[in-house]
Structure 1
Amino acid sequence: MGIYSKLNRPIIIAEYDPQWPLLFEQERKRIEAVLGNEAIRFEHIGSTAIPGLAAKAAIDIAIGIQRLEMASKYIPKLESLGYIYEPTFEALLPERRFFWKGTPMVHTYHIHMAEVGSPLWVKPIMFRDYLRRHPDEAQRYSELKKSLAERWVNDMDAYVEGKTDFVEGVLEKAAQEAGYTGVV
């Protein structure tokens, strides 16, 4: 069993909903109200942030903080909004803190907390921005996600693994467009 098995639930891909950016903005305001000015930045990331892209209908929110050590004091504040903190994922990505909201079978929001400027902050934004600029690539990603969800409906690890090559390829292209020469 892989790291994502903790999130195993049926993988349901929904067609793009123009309400997703509005739901992000409403939730961002709720989070900002409990965190105050402690969070530096909020970004709508993931597939729900890309117009026209099919997605698991959970809104992904990146919260950028100054230092990851500060994250522990935010946990109770986010839990007060109904978020569940998942420390399990730190084994895979120790530079990120992950939270979800909803029910175990239907997540409505995910929070990805990382230091602003870190790779775990920059990469999802690069990925989002590249697909926004390249709707043809976004369409390819949409079709891949639908195909993987049909094949691996109850296996989140296999679903995530199936997207890896595509995601890494997009990140390489995004880095080239941006003029990055280092490792993405």
Structure 2
Amino acid sequence: MPEIELVAHNPFWTRAYQHERKLLLEALFPVTGPLLIEHIGSTSIKNIAAKDVIDIMVGLTQPLSQEAIEAFEKLGYDYMGEAGIPGRFFFKRDPRTHHVHVVQLGHDHGFWWEHLLFRDYLRSFPEPARRYEQVKLDLAARFPNDRPSYTSSKSPIIHELLAEAIEWESHFGPVRQIQQVLQQTPFQWAIAGGWALDLATGKGQRHHEDIDVMVYRKEQLGLQRFLHNQGWVLSRIHKGEYFRWLEGEELPEGDHQVHATHMDHPSMDLLFNEGDLEHWVYRRNPALTRKAAICTGPHGIRYLAPEVVLLYKSGGTAGERTKDAEDARRMFPILSASQKTWLLQQLPPNHPWHDLIVEDL
């Protein structure tokens, strides 16, 4: 039997990933805290051949610990270290059925966003997916028992497709995919987070780890029903831990986030907010409201106003993150005086952004 053997796409791979994801969440969350898990590699892309190995990517908010390594080992994984890729920690299960790639988000040299973007591009466009498949089939025939040569020879097509994916991303490609899904619904929604800031500037400014979508809490069950019927897998998040969002189940008070995945689309995080189209309500302080918090950007994509996004990014219980501070510095010069004044009024008196905003007023 050749070492490199590609088989036709198997719908079971998605179920196998979901099963393993559940085991990983249960084993890792107690020792790592909040984490992200995504299905990557060719088994995550419909209708192309792949090795019968499930590739999984885990994103941590802190460095990989010995306790986390031991949790993997209890699940039958062998720890292989970085295995030639700085910032990526590799685990494999023998016989080869699953590979897990672990990174610390923000310290992974682009590993996380590159793999998600590559996957989402091939999910969205059959032609580049077929090009990738054909190269892999040719290489598997050429190097049936030479894994290093097979792997290194894929580099040119991967770089070519990643360049195409980056160009697609710069024109809001992933967000436009989500727009196509959500514009079929009667519900109000708006892109939030870092993507919203890019929409406000009219061009892609940086790579993104996820797509945040603000929706109104009162519409949660209708949206849930629509997404379930479209084949989305929904997980509600409670204190950083993932639970299946059961059909007809309202989110518990205090919970506001649902992670949504689909084999044909980029993943998205639904952020349920109080209020309605006329009055946005700040989740961390319901007394704070704002009119006209939804804007329309390139391609007719609705997004949360940048001053509102920056208020969320100014620091919750986790404090200010590096990428949020960078987003703030690039956005302050293009905010209007009224947007800056409003944001200034909402920030605590000792917040480090005060001086930056005042400089631009």
TM-score computed with the length of structure 1 as normaliser? 0.86
Q: Which runs of 5+ in 2 are unaligned?
A: 171-203, 208-361
Matched, 1:77 2:71: yes
Q: Residues 21-51 of structure 1, C-alpha deviation per residue, up to 9 Å, x if partnerless?
A: 1100000001111112625100000000000
Task: Work out whether residues 115 and 121 of structure 1, in 8 Å CA contact, stay in contact via their aligned partners in 2.
Answer: no
* TM alignment of 1:23-62, pairs within 5 A: 23-36=16-29, 38-62=33-57
Matched, 1:127 2:122: no
Q: Residues 65-115 of structure 1, C-alpha deviation per residue, up to 9 Å, x if partnerless?
A: 013x234331110100000111260xx212010001132xxx100000012
Q: In the alignment, residue 82 of structure 1 is paired with which amino acid?
A: G
Q: Which of 64, 89, 99 pairs up with 2:91?
A: 99
Following TM superposition, the consecutive aligned residue runs of length 4 or more in structure 1 with deviations greater than 6 angstroms are: none
**CA RMSD of superposed structures (Å):** 1.8
**Alignment correspondent of 1:13:** 6
Measured in 2, the distance between the counterparts of 1:133 and 1:143 equals: 17
Q: Which of 124, 133, 136 pairs up with 2:127?
A: 136
| C-alpha deviation, 1:181, in angstroms | 7.2
Select the structure with the greater relative contact order (CA < 8 A; seq sep ≥ 6).
1
The 3-state SS of whatever aligns with 2:55 is strand
Task: Work out whether residues 4 and 51 of structure 2, in 8 Å CA contact, stay in contact via their aligned partners in 1.
Answer: yes
**Alignment correspondent of 2:159:** 168
Task: Work out whether residues 71 and 97 of structure 1, in 8 Å CA contact, stay in contact via their aligned partners in 2.
Answer: no
Q: Which of 12, 15, 39 pairs up with 1:22?
A: 15
Task: Work out whether residues 148 and 159 of structure 1, in 8 Å CA contact, stay in contact via their aligned partners in 2.
Answer: yes
Q: In the alignment, residue 157 of structure 1 is paired with which amino acid?
A: P
Name the % identity: 33
